[in-house]
Structure 1
Amino acid sequence: MREAQPFKNRVVIVTGASRGVGRATAIRLGEQGAAVACVARATDATRLKLPGTVDETARAVNAAGGEGLAVPCDLSKPDRIEAMVNTVMAHFGGIDALVNNAAVTFAGDLDLELKRYELTFAINTTAPLLATRLCRPHLADRNGRIVNVSSAAALAFYSPMMAYGMSKIALEHLTVSSAAILAGDKIAVNCFRIDTAVASEGFMMNSPDADHSTWVSTAVAAEGIVWMLSQPTTYTGRLESMVALARREGIMAEIAHNRGPDPSSPWSLDRARGLA
């Protein structure tokens, strides 16, 4: 017997859904009955270096019990983001939630090439801003939810990820600001900050020499993100640490009972260097 489906008849956009936390979030939403627009650049016809495509994720959502829609989109292009939102509305007729998960990082700090710096912000910060703006009227019709996915890199310097960290702290500011702006529309906006090592393909590629056996699965992060989407709209403006949320709410059991250092401590942030 299939478990209860609390997201039945709800439409969720998940960016960066071809792999990693985005893919895991889309599948978990599918298990709970959601219609999921799986957004990323990689498709079956146009694959990238890392594994995974939006088509594969959409099929996995269908197999899980939801309705998956593959929506190829280059999030660095504003017109493509607008086209993506229009595609979702034309197909599903509404939008209940938006998960701004897509992100890129390039090695380099003060010496990072300007074009790569600008691309980092285009995808990690500007795309969530534009998606929020474009989805606003549709989310307002359905008391919508937005979750922005951040990183421990927002809180400290992890060389060579300066631009990535800058883009993520900007995303956190976008979260609290848009939560205040959209409160009158009854749209909840929250941030899920990944501050423990998660075994997504991108994180593992960035840290090839780390002991990946100690990292938690992407499904753990997906559980936390979907939990946040499940809260009432009065739950808004939160900048949630993944680890602290697990401990406080008793969710994400794989990390909830890990009584290690507080994720906001300098020691813990240093240990996470390069893992987020």
Structure 2
Amino acid sequence: MKVFKFHIGFHKTATTHFQDTLLAMRNDLVNQGMYYEPLDETRQKLSALTPKGKKKMLYDLAPAKLKYLYLRKTNFYLPSHCEHLLLSEENVSGTPLQLLSERLYPQIESKLHFLDVLASQKLDVRVYASIRSFDKVMTGAYITMLRFNPKGAIAAKDYFLELFKHGYRPNWHDLLKRINGITARPFAFKIWTQEDYSKRSSDIIKAFIGDENIAVPTLSRPTSTMTPSYSAIEKIEQMAAKFDKKPANWRQVCDDVYQTFPANNKAEKYTLFSEQEASLLKRLYQEDLQRIDESFPNIFLLQ
């Protein structure tokens, strides 16, 4: 039975570092019968399945397309001697903007419906997710989407902050419960926290791979995911307000602004929340983790 390991993110939980590390280990993994498909390759293959004239990524594909990809194509990607396929794609759950709503990833049930199909096939399906305190997640989601959809990001931020002001508090427990109920057939489901990953990334990667002895390289934190300054975000928001259509080089414009106005210390790093609000979210996150531990025995990858 072939093993299908799918890390579904979520956004802003150190997914880029996780993916970069697996990519650096790619040759060693193949030598041990494990094939890690880099994110760019996964997205290219998904784009090839998209109807002509339409630009869609993984999170936009209908369940039927996902079934086709993973049931008909998955095994074709594996070298003949590999029995394990490893993937990591945070956009399969939805977009970062869908975090800034009244319900985390509101369409995740349909997006992950293909897991039910996989679980019925001759595949050992194992699903993984990473979570983090929402003061960091929501801020990171907003910053990310400013580079891709600035007007949509600003509107989503304003909407979320209005919800937050009136008492809305996101939690991971409910999201994990929704994921756990997607399939009629059970599949292995494990999670880890970004806070643990920042301290024990090597241990988490070894546990994900299933080999305690494999060498895990030490990679620096990706500069593309670093939090910019208040000045940088203010500049980007001002620029976005002046155009009707996003410039073709908008991502480069954002990167240039972030480099020009760096956050030189923690106090200068942009955040959606006041110090008191961030403290509240951190406390609720700890309560959330306890609830998860009680509701889903052995769900944490590192117990």
**Superposition TM-score tier, normalisation by shorter sequence:** 0.3 to 0.5
TM-score normalised according to structure 2 size: 0.32
TM-score normalised according to structure 1 size: 0.35
Structure whose residues are more often helix by fraction: 2
Structure whose residues are more often strand by fraction: 1
